[in-house]
A and B are shown apart, each in its own frame.
Chain A
Amino acid sequence: MNQKLKLSDIHPGDSLPSVVKHITQGEINLYAEASGDFNPIHIDESFAAQTPLGGTIAHGMLILAYVSEMMTKAFGESWLSGGKLSVRFKAPARPKDTITTSGKIDSVEHKEGVPYVNCSLESCNQKGETVITGGAVVRL
């Protein structure tokens, strides 16, 4: 994994390393345990079946973790201590979904001599439906 990506390695239009995850109810339950978020919409199948969503859904923060995994693979520590993320949740991710998170480098700009990499990103399910859309900025 990159510890510090050099500016010379970065070009507008470059794709970020995509991340593919298969979501299971077991993983959603694990995430609930790990995060402390036991909202029944995520873990109680009987409860969730009676809501307009019709079934359990993954935590939005779980899907965001996949986005952060992509950014960490691309930028390493520059992301971990110099990253900004801004996303909208467009659709729920459900058990048995395959979520593909991808992105690209849009531009590099300099502010007070410091380079910032602007990226766009998206997470989609196996039907091509957008689950998350947004952008990220990394200070190199």
Chain B
Amino acid sequence: MSPISFEELAVGYEFPATNYELSKSLIAKYLEAVGGQQYFLTSGVVPPLAIAAYAMTALSQSFSVPPGSIHASQEFEFLKLVPIGSTVSCGGKIVQKVQRGRLYLVVLEINALNQDKEKVLSGKATVAVPT
């Protein structure tokens, strides 16, 4: 599916959900990149920021981010532990798109659900996009 253009993005637009299988090898790769925290591999729990990263990647791949866009702020809430080996479904929607001077401020709501459709993570990202 081609990414939607920024111009076409409107408040209420829901991004298609993307599934991620949180395998041990994927999480080990993530932990190598962020440095240490081997606790997660020994306890079998996925780092919540890993789930957040995949959720953000899913959204950013769904629309064409104009050059010069800046990730201005971020909120996350971690709701449930997720075992390594689980599959999560990441999605979100546009909740705000306003023009302030030479910038658009776009607010995206993000969520991740586990296999039982329970929310394990929610969040909001604000992106500043040059006009």
Contacts and interface: CB of A to CB of B under 8 A. Distances in A.
A21 interface: yes
Interface in B11-59: 26, 29-30, 32-37, 39, 45, 47-50, 52-54, 56-57
A81 B77 CA distance: 8
A80 B81 contact: yes
Contacts of A25: none
Contact of B37 (A27, A64, A69): A69
Contacts of B77: 83-85
Interface stretch (A31-39, A109-117, A120-128): A31-39
B99 interface: no
Interface in A96-120: none
B72 A89 contact: yes
Interface in B60-76: 60-61, 65, 67-68, 70-76
Interface residues of A, number: 35
A34 B32 contact: yes
B48 A34 contact: no
B98 interface: no
Given A79-B78, A88-B72, A66 B57 contact: no
Given A89-B70, A89-B72, A21 B35 contact: yes
Interface of A: 1, 21, 27, 30-31, 33-37, 39, 51-52, 59-62, 64-66, 68-69, 72, 77, 79-89
24 contacts: A27-B33, A33-B29, A34-B32, A34-B33, A35-B54, A36-B54, A36-B57, A37-B60, A61-B49, A64-B52, A64-B74, A66-B34, A66-B35, A69-B34, A72-B37, A72-B39, A80-B81, A81-B79, A82-B78, A83-B76, A83-B77, A85-B74, A85-B77, A87-B75
Interface of B: 26, 29-30, 32-37, 39, 45, 47-50, 52-54, 56-57, 60-61, 65, 67-68, 70-81
